[in-house]
Structures are given as structure tokens and as C-alpha cells.
Amino acid sequence: MAEDEYPYVAGVDTSTQSCKVVIVDPATGTVVRQGRAAHPGGTEVDPEAWWSAFLTAVGQAGGLADVHALAVGGQQHGMVCLDAAGRVIRPALLWNDTRSGGAARDLIAEHDDAGGTAWWVDATGSAPVASLTVTKLRWLAEHERDNAARIAAVALPHDWLSWRISGSTDIRDLWTDRSEASGTGYLAREGNKDPRRPEYRRDILASALYIRQSDAEKIILPRVAEPWEICSHGDPARGWAHVALGPGAGDNAASALGMNLTPGEAMLSLGTSGVVAAVSAHSVMDPTGAVTGFADASGNWLPMATTLNASRITDAMRNILGVSYEEYSNLALSVPDAGGLTLLPYFEGERTPNLPDATASMSGMTLSNSDPAHVARAGVEGLLTLMAGALAAVERVTGPIDRVSLLGGGAKLEAVRRLAPNMLHHRVEIAPDGEYVALGAARQAERAWQARA
């Protein structure tokens, strides 16, 4: 392949809300073209919608004719169940679908004699919460037995889209990476701890689905690729055979790559969810389960605390007040504090802390603080207090964090930027606008290309 004929790399971000494709010049890191297409709303989605959005975004980005490598960063944990022919059995349950909250509690309770949460953390690095794939499989086994019985393979959103880009219809060709596998709830912690030993816990998979371990052994789980591996090539039928496909990564691991995050640094992303993640040179374990012991996309680790509520807090409070984002921010900054008004911002349940059935509430209302300014201020403070708790949880297991990079749509609010340093109790830097997931995926694709045999 002539380098000058295919000078660029592509990075894909298949997120909850949309698919974004960036075409990058690896020599300079400059984005030369890009495209975007929306995903359907809701917490249950037909994966074909992701494929359609990818094709639209690629078209907007000018195609892949001059691209030599591509990788996909994607929303984590979603459950994509396939039958033996590679057909999707039912719409994917996304990470933010909380119907499996009861399943998460049951899975923990089943190991109470061995420590419950502590058993899970020791076994997999994380405790079951509604977001993790293992809990969604248990929900499926309990509520849709016929669909569960048809499972021949289980993939994650980024695995499935990468596989579709390759053109394969053979479920044995599925692959994933450590960051995604470590977020399923059934990758052995030993494999997470040692990147040379990725191994699935088939006993956990069997238990989740109420099947024998011998039957769980027959289910195809995506092969866990090395961090800088060429895993396949693009679909020849679409003229993509020249495009090498990297492992891809979970969205947060891809963001960490895109931001060049190093040990001692954390990113705090305010998107649909709120995420605090810090790169660690060593494996971490939080017996409480508040921090998930995920792997990153480079061979390190990415301990993470995730909230279900982040920018949606701002959206909910702004809608209550009937104001624009700028007006909401100005209202919040027009008073020195919330005047004793406190927002508990669990609008869609919560993950950190693990309260999937919780609801939001506002307390401390008086005649002096029951006005738009104090309500707006309480909304911003509620968001940042939630994220401060997540940041403190991560720092407990990683050691001191020297710098926090604030990013995501929620970080564009001036009130959030102004109040963050004091409320987070850390040095905060506002990350420049950028498609960090897609950029991280592009960076991975290029490094895999350079490392090829």
C-alpha cells in the first residue's frame, strides 16, 4: 500500500446520541474532514441505527478512499445479542437503561456468603450495577427467556460496529479491546490486572443467564485484542479493503487517548453521563464498588466513577425555569450561593452512588430562596457536588490527582466553569473543544498501523 495514496486515518465515536467520524492527518493531528449523524433517543436501540448513522457520517466526511486505518470508540456496556447467523436478536439495551438494577442487586446477593460486592470486585474489578452488560444479560434471562435461549454471541456496541465495518457475518470474527471487555462484568480481574492475560469468566456468564457452564463455553464472546493490533480490514464489497481496523475502545478510554492523559491526571466529562476517569500505571480495586477497575486502551488502567446524571441535570433545571443555557448560567452566577437550597440530582436514578431507582428532589426551600436565581444556582451546585463525590472516590484508589481536565457539553456552561475549581477542590483546566473519543480512536488506528508486522 502506497502511503501517499492513503495518507489519512479515521476515528469513529459511536456514542449514545450520535455517530461522529473524523478524518485525521496523522503527521499533524489535524482534522481534515468530519461527519456526524444522529442516533435514535431512548435506552433501547436497534443496532442497525448505528450502522445507518455510521454510513451517513462517513459520507459527510468524504468517504474512506484515502484512509489507511480506522478504529471505533463507542458507548460502553450496551448489550448486543446475536444468533448463530449473526442476526441481532432484540434491540440493544444501552448503558443508561436502568431496568436491570434489580438484577444487579440479585447478582451481588448471590455471593453474599463470599463477601457480595467484595467478591465481585476481586473477581472482575467491578461490582454489578445496572449499566454493566452482565446485569442486562440477567434481566434478559428473567424477562425474555426465548431471546436469551437464542444467544450465540454477545457483543458491545463498538464491537458490533467494528465487525460490521469489516463486512464479516461470522460471529467468530468479533473482537474487542481490554477497556470494553473490562466493563462487561465477566472479564476476569486477572486479565484486567495483566494485559497479557485477558480471560472471560464463563462461570459468571453462565450464572447470569441461568445456564450450565458447558453451554456458556459455546457462546461467542469477542476476542480481546492487543492495544495496538490490526484486527481486520474494511469490507471489500464497499471498497474499504485497504482500511486496516484497530481494536477500538470504550468511549472514555478513547477520550483518554485523545487527551494524552497520563498517570496523575484525570478527566471529568459532563455529557449524557458524568465521568471521572484517571489513568493509572497499576491495577486498582475498590471493595466498595464505587470505582470500577477498568482497563484503558493503551495497556494501563482507567479507574472510573460514572454518574447517570450530568448535563441532563442542567437540561432539567433549565426547562423548569424556562430559560436558555446562557440565561440559566447568568441566573446561577447572579447570587453568591444557593441560599440553603439543595438539589439531589438523581433524575434518572444514579450509578455513583448506586441508586438506580432514586429520584431527584429539592430541599431547604424558604421564601427567600424560592426564586429562579437560587434554583439555578442549586442546579449547578447539585451537578458539581455529584461530580466532586465521584472525583474523590477515584482519588481514593489512585492516589493524588494533580490536574482535572473538564470537558463535554455540560462544561460549556460558564457557571460550571467558574464554580468547578472551588467545588471540586482541584486545579481545573477547561479542555479545548474537540471530538476526543473520535480523535483517540484515530490515534489508536495510526499507532496500530505503525506497529503492524
Tens of pLDDT, residues 45-74 = 999 999 999 999 999 999 999 999 999 999
List Cβ neighbours of 183 (8 Å cut-off, separation of 6 or more). 76, 77, 126, 132, 133, 156, 250, 292, 294
User: What mean pLDDT comes out for the span 391-420?
Assistant: 94
CA 261 to chain CA centroid, Å, is 16
User: What mean pLDDT comes out for the span 259-265?
Assistant: 89
Checking if the pLDDT of 1 tops 60, the result is: no
Give pLDDT, residue 196: 59
Q: Using CA atoms in the order 222, 223, 225, 230, what is the torsion angle rounded to 10 degrees? A: -90
Give pLDDT, residue 356: 84
Question: Are 425 and 266 in contact, with CB atoms under 8 Å apart?
Answer: no
Checking if the pLDDT of 35 tops 90, the result is: yes
Checking if the pLDDT of 193 tops 70, the result is: no
Give pLDDT, residue 282: 84
Per-residue pLDDT band at 80 (split at 50, 70, 90): very high
172: exposed, middle or buried (Cβ count in 10 Å: 0-12, 13-18, 19+) = exposed
Per-residue pLDDT band at 150 (split at 50, 70, 90): very high
Give pLDDT, residue 284: 84
Cα–Cα nearest to 74, from 191, 164, 148, 196: 164
List Cβ neighbours of 333 (8 Å cut-off, separation of 6 or more). 377, 414, 415, 418
CA 276 to chain CA centroid, Å, is 11
Task: Cell numbers for 376, please give them.
Answer: 439555578
Which residue has cell 472482575?
A: 124
Checking if the pLDDT of 195 tops 80, the result is: no
Checking if the pLDDT of 3 tops 60, the result is: no
Angle between helices 157-166 and 48-60 (to 10 degrees): 60
Q: Half-sphere exposure (CA, 13 Å, Cβ side) for 427?
A: 6
User: What mean pLDDT comes out for the span 9-16?
Assistant: 96
Cα–Cα nearest to 342, from 305, 309, 317: 317
Q: How far apart are CA 90 and CA 46, in angstroms?
A: 7
State how far the alpha carbon of 441 is from the alpha carbons of 214, 220, 283, 406, 434, in Å: 36, 25, 23, 20, 13
Query: What stretches of 110-227 show up as alpha helix (H) in DSSP?
Result: 117-124, 133-143, 145-149, 157-166, 178-181, 189-193, 202-209, 213-216
Strands 244-245 and 342-344: unpaired
The secondary structure of 126-138 as a DSSP string is: S---TTSHHHHHH
Tell me the Ramachandran region of residue 418: left when phi exceeds 0, alpha when psi lies from -120 to 50, beta otherwise.
alpha
Q: Half-sphere exposure (CA, 13 Å, Cβ side) for 125?
A: 35
State how far the alpha carbon of 228 is from the alpha carbons of 22, 71, 82, 252, 277, in Å: 19, 11, 27, 17, 21
Q: What percent of the chain has pLDDT over 90?
A: 85
By annotation, the residues acting in catalysis are 251
Handedness of CA 55, 61, 65, 66 (dihedral sign): negative
Element (H, E) at 363: strand 361-363
Q: Which of 41-55, 260-274, 405-419 has the lowest mean pLDDT?
A: 260-274
Whole-number CA gyration radius for the chain: 22
Checking if the pLDDT of 352 tops 90, the result is: no
- Average pLDDT value for the chain: 94
Angle between helices 325-333 and 311-321 (to 10 degrees): 90
User: What mean pLDDT comes out for the span 261-290?
Assistant: 89
Per-residue pLDDT band at 331 (split at 50, 70, 90): very high
Q: How far apart are CA 341 and CA 307, in angstroms?
A: 22
Q: How far apart are CA 442 and CA 437, in angstroms?
A: 9
Q: Using CA atoms in the order 294, 295, 296, 298, what is the torsion angle rounded to 10 degrees? A: 180
